[in-house]
Amino acid sequence: MSSYHSCRTGALLAAACAVAAAPLRAQLNLGANAGEVRYEQVGGTGSVGINPDLTLTGTRLLWNVGGTWSTATDGSRSLEGATTLWGATPMVASHVQLDGMLQGAYTSPAGDSTSYSLLGFGEAAFTGDSYGVGIGAGALGAQITGSSAISALRASARGWAEVGDWTLGLSVQPTALSTKVWFTDVTASAEIDPGKMEISGTALLRQSPATGLDLGGEGSFTYHITPRAAFAASAGRYLRDPFQGLPAGYHVNVGVVLTLWQPRAKETEGVGQADLTDVTLKSLGINGHGLGQSALRINPATSKKVSGSSGGGRGHKP
């Protein structure tokens, strides 16, 4: 099956789920952040950025669109945008449901080449009250202006569980690129939300015949000062970008997130949606740091506490 056909199939599944999912909850956020990034074998650079972000959620629907404008101490500037549409079917069997996602993104650095990417992904998941497992597959196409397009196929097997106050996850995701390169990511995650705080960590082990083993990860901390204002910080190491060939690097970032608009909506019950939105462009190796730029982004997507949503799981976090 071609990458284009796989992306289109995932898009149709997500769109079909979206049509059936209602009512909606809306939230508009604005984030501002400052950070430092240091690529391996390259000097460090500081940056500041502004991040508007709109999220609509429903019973089995999530649609998010956001952007980042950033400027760095090396004189570079970058404009980034991304949108994600995710939807899930009702249960097709006992505790089994299907979900699909379509995600597009672009990066436009000042004085450099613009890049585009499109991801389609589908998954079948068995969801319990506090645990679940999922098996899925998807395809991604990416292109830098002036260069040949690159595509990838990815499979995914993952599980998640709530253990006490913790939400834990583990995934194994092999990926094959059209450049004949392949690698496998093993990712472990943990999150806890004590009081007004949200604390999470991710560890990523990547194995590739070309480069061997590599380890990355990130820790993040959010403190909700008020229901509409939060302080956020993150730090970690991201791995080499296999699509764009960017080097690995370290980053630290701090910022604030303001909820500008949050109309009241009737609370709805979702089935497993909190655990089915983990697959992102970043997990496929497309990082959010621009094409060689130093811009860092704190994603101000809907937070469980900022949005005021209730129920179990981690909330909608694409």
Query: Which pLDDT tens digit goes with each residue over 85-138?
Result: 888 888 888 889 898 889 898 888 888 888 888 989 999 988 888 888 999 999
96 Cα distance to chain centroid: 23
When pLDDT is cut at 50, 70 and 90, the band that residue 220 belongs to is very high
DSSP, res 54: E
Question: Which residue in the block uniquely carries the two structure tokens 């990511």?
Answer: 185
Q: What is the pLDDT of residue 222?
A: 92
For residue 274, pLDDT over 50 is answered with no
Residue of 294, 313, 217, 239 lying closest to 48 (CA atoms): 294
pLDDT digits (tens, 9 = 90+) for 248-267: 889 899 999 998 887 665 44
For residue 176, pLDDT over 90 is answered with yes
**H or E segment and range at residue 5:** helix 3-20
- Per-residue buried b or exposed e for 19-50, using 16+ beta carbons within 10 Å of the residue's own CB: eebeebbbbbbebebebbbebeeeeebebbbe
Domain boundaries along the sequence of the chain? 3-307
* Chain mean pLDDT for the chain: 76
**H or E segment and range at residue 6:** helix 3-20
193 within 8 A of 199, measured Cβ to Cβ: yes
Q: What is the pLDDT of residue 23?
A: 58
Q: What is the pLDDT of residue 229?
A: 92
When pLDDT is cut at 50, 70 and 90, the band that residue 211 belongs to is confident
Residue of 126, 114, 241 lying closest to 175 (CA atoms): 241
The rounded percent of the chain whose pLDDT value lies above 90 is 32
Is the whole-model pTM more than 0.85?
no
pLDDT digits (tens, 9 = 90+) for 20-48: 444 567 888 899 999 998 877 766 789 89
For residue 153, pLDDT over 90 is answered with yes
Q: What is the pLDDT of residue 244?
A: 58
Residue of 183, 184, 174, 237 lying closest to 210 (CA atoms): 183
For residue 270, pLDDT over 60 is answered with no
Q: What is the pLDDT of residue 144?
A: 82
Pseudo-torsion of CA 170, 171, 172, 174, nearest 10°?
-160
Q: What is the pLDDT of residue 230?
A: 92
Least confident range from 210-214, 276-280, 286-290: namely: 286-290
Q: What is the pLDDT of residue 285?
A: 34
Cβ contacts of 290 within 8 Å, gap of 6 or more: 70, 76, 78, 80, 107, 109
Residue of 227, 224, 234, 158 lying closest to 193 (CA atoms): 224
When pLDDT is cut at 50, 70 and 90, the band that residue 276 belongs to is very low
CATH (residue range 3-307): 2.40.160.40
